[in-house]
Structure 1
Amino acid sequence: MRSYAGVLVGKLIFCAICLCPAPIALVVGFAAWRDGEDWAWIALLIGLVGSVLIVVVALRATRNEVPRISRGDLLRDTDVSYGDDTFVLWAPRSPAGSARARLARADVLEASLVRYSPEGEATFTTYGGDHAPDEFTPLIRLRLRVHGSEEAEDAEGSDAFEVTGECRVPSVCLSAVTAGRLAVLVEPAGPGADRKVVPLWPRSALLAGTRTCRVIDIEGRTTEVTGRPGRLLRQMRIFRSAGGVEMIGDTIDLRRLDADTAARCTALAERYRAHPEDRAPVTEPGEEARWIVDQLPGEPGAFGSVGRRWSRRGGVLVRARFLKMAATHTFQDHGPVLDTVLRVRPADGTPPFDAARRLTVPMDYLAVLHRTREVVLSVSPNGRWYTIDWARTNLLAGTTAAKVIAPDGQEFPLTGRPEVIWALMNLLASHALANPTPVLDLRKPRMNAVAGTSMDVVRPLSDPPYRVR
């Protein structure tokens, strides 16, 4: 990943070339002023304005390209509070479907990327209105097992069927495919025609556990329902029958609904209070058959590069957590540009702060949002700047399989062990050791200084793996 200074210098040179008449006018105006020409001030003014414009454009372009955060990005909207486990996702809306369509759950049995071929390269492409361009929306081939009607859901295999087809999946909802749980509309089949199945992507992200959800009942009590697909699906059906109540935030407040809908939701809550639903797994079985992460663009996961000067002057790594992502109309080839809110936990022990920042988020990371919303930040030695390190973030998130090779050649897979990976990242950074791959080979001579400590971290791998949330 290029440094902020390196990107800024490149942007300044590029802007100076594109706006070269401005500095030329400045030089000509200065020469004319020395010669006492009356028109010199015009050339000086043009050159000065153009030179300032070069700097402003270069700074804005650098800010867009380098995911750097500071306390100057503090969240201004203090009316909204976010819990540590909150994640709000604003995704493009899906078609409402006909009134006769049935809302059902579908399990993703297989998934593969058919096409994703934008032509924007590294540039930013912006579309007006609510247009969701196909070129920036991956086309995925899905094989689904659609569950039966509500009355038959508890009967194994009753009224269920399989369907295969291709559909466009919004980038921010890719994790629903990886998790394996979708909310779909099943249209009635016409004479001699197959049943049409239409995924509802924002609600699929909710059903998959990517979006968090809690319910406030009539008495003001809050219940966490994230990861309870049975209850969430029935809640969706109630809202759909009530005229399409949106489930777009992270909180459903029954006190704000009409009396009939609130009563039905209260009855549903009482049902699950009497018979609690177990939390669904983070991902459904058979994830390898729908693992599209390797086919999506993004930065390959790695233990990360380290600048010696940065390390020696006290640069550190910290973790932050996404609290909110909202889709915009701007895209880059490797991911959409999103309005985000992150909770940053400084390394000096000061209270965490929430920052609002528009960022390009890689698509391979978006495909594992149901697992984790954490990111790795590289902190400047003075503690003022926090730069998102997508290579380390993706390795921690599990988009790439991490592995350690011991001095004796024994291999230790680190899949599903983010805390071990995190400890090794910090160890390497503190010793100014770069390892720009997902494989940490301790047999290399330059790793001698950390080999012993690394093995102390890795050896307890007889314990079962755990997942980051």
Structure 2
Amino acid sequence: MRSRSGVFVGNLVFAAVCMSAAPIFLVMGYSTRHDDTGPGWVAAGLGAVGTVMIPVTAAIFTRKEFPRITRRDRAKDSAVSYGDHTFVMSAPRSPQGTADARLVRADVLEASFVRYSPDGEATFTTYHGNYAPTEFMPVIRLRLRVHVASESEGAAGHGEFETTGEWRVPPLCLSAITAGRLVVLVEPPGPAGPGEVTVLWPRSVLLAGTRTCRVIDLEGRLTEVTRRPVRQLEQMRISRSVGGVVMAGDTIDLRRLDAETAGRYSALADRARAVPEDLAPVTEPGEENRLLVDHLPGEQGEFGTVGRSWSRRGGHLVRARFLEMRGTTTFQDHGPVLDTVLRIRPADGTPAFDAARRLTVPMNYLAVLHHTKELVLQVGPNGRSFVVDWNRTNLLAGVGTAKVIAPDGREFPLPARSDALWPLMNLLASHGLSNPGPVLDLRRRRMRAVAGTVMDVVRDRGQVPTDRPA
């Protein structure tokens, strides 16, 4: 992982090259200062301003590019009340379809990467008035099973058909594919067969359980609706029929709706209480046929690098959790630039605090966002700065799998999101040991000091070797 000083130096060199004329104007103006001519002073002024802007521009781009968080990023008071399990997402709006189109569920049977070729040549590309440019959306080929007759209509297993096509997927909504549950609009069938299928991506992320969903009824009671797809589909149909229902954060407050719409939601809640719905799985069976992380841009999952000076002076790792993600009109090739709110829990036992920071979030992390919203931060020795470590974050989130090779050569594979990953990362960081990659080989000489402790952690988590030395 690059250091902040390294990023700053790179940006300083780039800014100096782009503004190389400024120092020349400054020298020319300074050399003609005794002539008492107007052009000389103008040249000197322009040169001075341009020269000062070189480090200023480098600092601005470094803050934008380098994911460091400080106390000044502490989130201000917000209208959204963030619980520990809250996750608010603002995604691009979906097409509404025709009045005759049916809103139903579709299961993702297979997903394959087709292409992703953004036109952005600069580090950051900003659009004005275009929230989701198509060139920053990967094209994914999907095979779907569409449930034309919904479960609530008592026709499970009937009224289904399969369709295959290519869709441009907003990066924020990639986790809906991995989870395997989508919301689609199906147009009325024609002579050639079933009607056109349109995926509603923001609603799909809601149905997948990535976004949390709660409902406050007319009596003020709060009900958790996350990962209850039957009820959520019915809520979406009610919302669509009335032209939309405002979701404040992750909550629908029936007390803010008109009487007729609130009554329909209340009737749905009564039916849900009478016949409780089972919690849907985090991911539908067959995720291996839908997992796209190896084809999407983003950092590789690894145990991470460690600066020896950083470790000796008290630098350490902490975990944080995303509470909110909102899209912006700025994009990077390997992920969208998002306005985020994250909850940081310091290791010294001080109270957790929320930080608001604009970050570039890798696409391969977004593809597993339904599994976890956690991320790993490197804490500076002074405890006042936090740097997002995307390599460790991706390994912890399940982007790729890790493996430990014992001193005797036996291999211990660690499943995705294994409980052993976090203590191993902390152990390596506390000893100042870098391991850039997902394979931790204890046969290396520099790993001897921690080999015994690593094996204790692996055994405590019940990991079984796959190979034994001959």
Question: TM-score of the superposition, structure 1-length normalised?
Answer: 0.94
Alignment-derived partner of residue 83 in structure 2: 83
Residue by residue over 1:30-84, the C-alpha shift from the partner in whole angstroms, topping out at 9 and shown as x without a partner, is 4555x58566654443332112211221111111111111111122243332111
Opposite residue 95 of structure 2, the aligned amino acid is: P
Opposite residue 124 of structure 2, the aligned amino acid is: F
Distance (Å, rounded) in 2 between the aligned partners of 1:79 and 1:296: 34
Deviates more, 1:455-464 or 1:390-399: 455-464
Alignment-derived partner of residue 17 in structure 2: 17
Alignment-derived partner of residue 140 in structure 1: 140
Mind listing any 5+ residue stretches in structure 1 that lack a counterpart? 465-469
What is the 5 A alignment of 1:326-341? 326-341=326-341
Distance (Å, rounded) in 2 between the aligned partners of 1:322 and 1:133: 24
Distance (Å, rounded) in 2 between the aligned partners of 1:153 and 1:117: 42
Query: How many angstroms does 1:130 deviate by?
Result: 2.9
> Is the Cα contact below 8 Å between 1:121 and 1:332 reproduced in 2?
no
User: How many residue pairs were aligned?
Assistant: 463
Alignment-derived partner of residue 199 in structure 1: 199
Does the C-alpha gap of structure 1 residues 338 and 12 become closer, same or farther in structure 2, counting only changes over 3 Å? same
What is the 5 A alignment of 1:384-403? 384-403=384-403
> Is the Cα contact below 8 Å between 2:100 and 2:187 reproduced in 1?
yes
Residue by residue over 1:355-394, the C-alpha shift from the partner in whole angstroms, topping out at 9 and shown as x without a partner, is 1111111100000000011111111111121111110000
Distance (Å, rounded) in 2 between the aligned partners of 1:142 and 1:246: 30
> Is the Cα contact below 8 Å between 1:141 and 1:164 reproduced in 2?
yes
Opposite residue 257 of structure 1, the aligned amino acid is: L
> Is the Cα contact below 8 Å between 2:150 and 2:156 reproduced in 1?
no
Residue by residue over 1:206-263, the C-alpha shift from the partner in whole angstroms, topping out at 9 and shown as x without a partner, is 0000000111011101011111111111111121222333557300101111111111
What is the 5 A alignment of 1:175-194? 175-194=175-194
Opposite residue 454 of structure 1, the aligned amino acid is: V
Distance (Å, rounded) in 2 between the aligned partners of 1:47 and 1:419: 57
SS at match of 1:322: strand
> Is the Cα contact below 8 Å between 1:238 and 1:264 reproduced in 2?
yes
Opposite residue 230 of structure 1, the aligned amino acid is: V
Alignment-derived partner of residue 344 in structure 2: 344
Distance (Å, rounded) in 2 between the aligned partners of 1:248 and 1:439: 43
Alignment-derived partner of residue 71 in structure 2: 71
Query: How many angstroms does 1:419 deviate by?
Result: 3.0
Alignment-derived partner of residue 363 in structure 1: 363
Distance (Å, rounded) in 1 between the aligned partners of 2:25 and 2:338: 39
Alignment-derived partner of residue 468 in structure 2: none
Alignment-derived partner of residue 222 in structure 1: 222
SS at match of 2:331: strand
SS at match of 2:420: helix
Deviates more, 1:99-108 or 1:192-201: 192-201
> Is the Cα contact below 8 Å between 1:152 and 1:158 reproduced in 2?
no
Residue by residue over 1:270-316, the C-alpha shift from the partner in whole angstroms, topping out at 9 and shown as x without a partner, is 11122221211110000011111111011110000111111111111
Alignment-derived partner of residue 117 in structure 2: 117
Alignment-derived partner of residue 260 in structure 1: 260
Alignment-derived partner of residue 250 in structure 2: 250
CA RMSD of aligned residues (A): 1.9
Deviates more, 1:412-421 or 1:377-386: 412-421
Residue by residue over 1:81-100, the C-alpha shift from the partner in whole angstroms, topping out at 9 and shown as x without a partner, is 21111111111111001111
Alignment-derived partner of residue 374 in structure 1: 374
> Is the Cα contact below 8 Å between 2:182 and 2:199 reproduced in 1?
yes
- Confirm or deny that 1:208 pairs with 2:208: yes
Opposite residue 318 of structure 2, the aligned amino acid is: V
> Is the Cα contact below 8 Å between 1:7 and 1:62 reproduced in 2?
yes
> Is the Cα contact below 8 Å between 1:228 and 1:279 reproduced in 2?
yes
Alignment-derived partner of residue 467 in structure 1: none
SS at match of 1:231: helix
> Is the Cα contact below 8 Å between 2:420 and 2:461 reproduced in 1?
no
Alignment-derived partner of residue 100 in structure 2: 100
Distance (Å, rounded) in 1 between the aligned partners of 2:247 and 2:108: 22
Mind listing any 5+ residue stretches in structure 2 that lack a counterpart? 465-470
Query: How many angstroms does 1:21 deviate by?
Result: 2.4
Deviates more, 1:368-377 or 1:339-348: 339-348
Opposite residue 6 of structure 1, the aligned amino acid is: G
Alignment-derived partner of residue 298 in structure 1: 298
Opposite residue 26 of structure 1, the aligned amino acid is: L
SS at match of 2:302: coil
